A and B are shown apart, each in its own frame.
Chain A
Amino acid sequence: MEQMIRVLVAKPGLDGHDRGAKVIARALRDAGMEVIYTGLRQTPEQIVAAAIQEDVDCVAISILSGAHNTLLPKVAALLKEQGAEDILMLGGGVIPDEDIPFLLDNGIKAVFTPGTPTSKIVECIKENVTK
Chain B
Amino acid sequence: MFDRSKLDQMKDKANQYEAQVEKSIARFPERRETFVTGSNSEVERLYTPEDIAEQDFLEDIGYPGSYPFTRGVQPNMYRGRLWTMRMYAGFATAEESNKRYKYLVEQGSSGLSVAFDLPTQIGYDSDHALSEGEVGKVGVAIDSLADMEVLFDGIPLDKVSTSMTINAPASILLAMYIAVAEKQGVSADKLRGTIQNDILKEYIARGTYIFPTEPSMRLITDIFAYCSEHVPQWNTISISGYHIREAGSTAAQEVGFTLADGIAYVEAALEAGLQIDDFAPRLSFFFNAHNDLLEEVAKYRAARRMWARLMKERFGAKKEKSMQLKFHTQTAGSTLTAQQAENNIVRVTIQTLAAVLGGTQSLHTNSKDEALALPSEQSVRTALRTQQIVAYESGVTNTVDPLAGSYYIEALTDQIEQEAMDYIRRIDDMGGTVAAIDKGYIQREIMDAAYEYQRAVELNEAIVVGVNKYQVEEESPTGLLRVDPVVGENQTKKLQALRSSRDNEAVEAALAGLKKACEGDENVMPFIIEAVKTYATLGEIADVMRSVFGEYQQAVIV
Contact = CB atoms under 8 A, between A and B. Distances in A.
Contacts of A67: 132-134, 137
Contacts of A14: 118-119, 121-122, 124, 130-131, 134, 208
User: Which of A14, A19, A22, A113 lies at the interface centre, i.e. has the most chain B CB atoms within 10 A of its CB?
Assistant: A14
Contacts of A15: 118, 134, 138, 207
B477 interface: yes
B14 interface: no
Interface string A50-86: 0000000000000001110111000000000000000
Nearest to B128: A14
Contacts of B206: 16-17
Contact of A115 (B124, B447, B467): B467
B454 A98 contact: no
B129 A43 contact: yes
Given A13-B118, A14-B208, A19 B247 contact: yes
B454 A23 contact: yes
Interface residue SS majority, chain B: loop
User: Which of A25, A69, A117 lies at the interface centre, i.e. has the most chain B CB atoms within 10 A of its CB?
Assistant: A117
Contacts of B134: 13-15, 65-67
Contacts of B447: 19, 22-23, 26
Contact of B207 (A18, A23, A98, A118): A18
B476 interface: yes
A35 to B, nearest CB: 8
Contact of A96 (B372, B485, B558): B372
Given A19-B246, A66-B138, A13 B133 contact: yes
B558 A25 contact: yes
Interface residues of A, number: 34
A23 B457 contact: no
B484 to A, nearest CB: 12
A109 interface: no
A66 B450 contact: no
Contacts of A118: 454, 458
B543 interface: no
Contact of A16 (B133, B207, B373, B454): B207
Given A14-B122, A26-B558, A37-B558, A98 B246 contact: no
Interface string A90-131: 000010111000000000000001110111000000000000
A33 interface: no
Interface size class of B (residues with CB under 8 A): 35 or more
Contact of A71 (B133, B247, B478): B133
Contacts of B457: 117
B346 interface: no
Contacts, number: 114
A94 B451 contact: no
Interface residue SS majority, chain A: loop
A65 B478 contact: no
A70 B133 CA distance: 5
A69 B133 contact: yes
Nearest to B451: A26
Contacts of B246: 17, 19
Contact of B454 (A27, A43, A113): A27
Nearest to A98: B476
Contacts of A18: 207
A39 interface: yes
A128 B150 CA distance: 50
Nearest to A15: B118
Nearest to B369: A96
Nearest to A40: B207
Contacts of A23: 248, 447, 450-451, 454
Interface in A8-44: 13-19, 22-23, 25-27, 35, 37, 39-41, 43
B137 A39 contact: no
B338 A114 contact: yes
Interface in B80-121: 118-119, 121
Contacts of B339: 115
Interface string B130-172: 1111100110000000000000000000000000000000000
Given A39-B554, A66-B483, A117 B371 contact: no
Contacts of B558: 22, 25-26, 35, 37
Given A14-B134, A70-B133, A97 B118 contact: no
B464 interface: yes
A3 B464 CA distance: 36
A39 B556 contact: yes
A36 B121 CA distance: 27
A26 B247 CA distance: 15
A25 B519 CA distance: 40
Contacts of A13: 118, 130, 133-134
B458 A119 contact: yes
B529 interface: no
Nearest to A35: B558
A27 B459 CA distance: 13
B463 interface: no
A17 B478 contact: no
Contacts of A96: 372-373, 476-477, 480, 482
Contacts of B353: none
Contacts of A16: 202, 206-209
B374 interface: yes
Given A66-B138, A71-B132, A117-B458, 12 more contacts: A14-B119, A15-B134, A23-B248, A23-B450, A27-B454, A43-B130, A94-B373, A96-B480, A97-B476, A97-B477, A98-B476, A115-B467
Interface of A: 13-19, 22-23, 25-27, 35, 37, 39-41, 43, 65-67, 69-71, 94, 96-98, 113-115, 117-119
23 contacts: A13-B118, A14-B119, A15-B118, A15-B207, A16-B207, A17-B207, A19-B334, A22-B447, A23-B447, A23-B451, A25-B558, A27-B454, A35-B558, A39-B556, A43-B129, A65-B137, A67-B134, A67-B137, A70-B485, A71-B133, A97-B372, A115-B371, A117-B457
Would you list the 8 A-B pairs with minimal beta carbon distance, nearest first? A16-B207, A70-B133, A97-B476, A67-B133, A14-B118, A66-B137, A115-B467, A117-B458
